[in-house]
Amino acid sequence: MTMETATAGIKEIYSSAQIQARIKELGQEISKEFRTLEKPVVIGVMKGAFCFLADLVRHIDIESPLQIEFVRLSSYGSGTESSGNVQAPYLDLPNIKRRHILVVEDIIDSGRTAKFFLEYLRDQFDPQTLKLAAFLDKPSRRVVPMEPDYTGFQIEDLFVVGYGLDYAENYRELPFLGEMVNVEA
C-alpha cells in the first residue's frame, strides 16, 4: 500500500514542519518556567502522547535532568466519541511525592481524562508543581473544566489523527496532523 492510499480520506491540518516549530516554542516556554526546578518528572499519557513527548523533551533545556515516566489511560471508545469512563490499564508510577510534575497529553477533548489523572496525582503525590502540556486542545468539546498550562494548537471540533493520535488504533505514525474526513461519529 502506498502512503497515498493509506492516507486517503485524511486532510492535513498541520504539517510536520509546523508541528516541530510550535513544539520548539513550547519547549522554550517550559524551559523558562522550569529552569531552576529540581529534577522535574515528565509523565506521558500513552498511547497518544508518544510523539509529542519525544519531541517536546528534546526542547526542554533546564538546570536539572528530567525524569520521564509513562502511564496508559483511555477513555474507552472505539470510534470518534470517547465514553465518560476513564480506564487506567497501566498506572504504575514510582514514588514521586512532592516533586515537580509535568503531564504530557495528546489532546484535551471532554477534559475527563486529564481531570481524572491530575486529581489522581494530587491525591497520591501532593506535587510541588503540577502542570499540563497538551499537544492539542478542543475547548468547544469540554464537559468538565480543564485548561492546559501549555497548548500546542487549539483546534475546532474536528476528529484528528496522526502525530500520535489514532482512529481505531490507526494512523498514529503519521508525521503530520490530519482531519479524518467522511468518518461516522
The interface region with ligand IMP, picked from 7-15, 16-24, 102-110, 119-127 by CB under 6 A, is 102-110
Residue 155 is classified by DSSP as: -
Q: Is beta strand 87-90 parallel, antiparallel or unpaired with respect to 100-108? A: unpaired
Q: Which of 31, 75, 87, 129 binds ligand IMP (CB under 6 A)?
A: 75
For ligand IMP, the closer of residues 149 and 166 by Cβ is: 166
| Residue 82 CB neighbour total at 10 angstroms | 18
Nearest approach in angstroms of CB 136 to ligand IMP is 7
Spatial strand order in the sheet of 87-90? 87-90, 67-74, 41-46, 100-108, 129-137, 150-154
Grid coordinates representing 60 are 526542554
> CA-CA distance, 173 to 91, in Å (whole number)?
24
Annotate each residue in 136-155 with x if it binds ligand IMP (CB under 6 A) or - if it does not, as one string.
--------------------
106 belongs to the catalytic site: no
Among 113, 118, 177, 178, binds ligand IMP (CB under 6 A): 113
Q: Which residues are catalytic?
A: 109
Residues near ligand IMP (CB under 6 A) are 48, 75, 82, 106-114, 159-161, 165-166
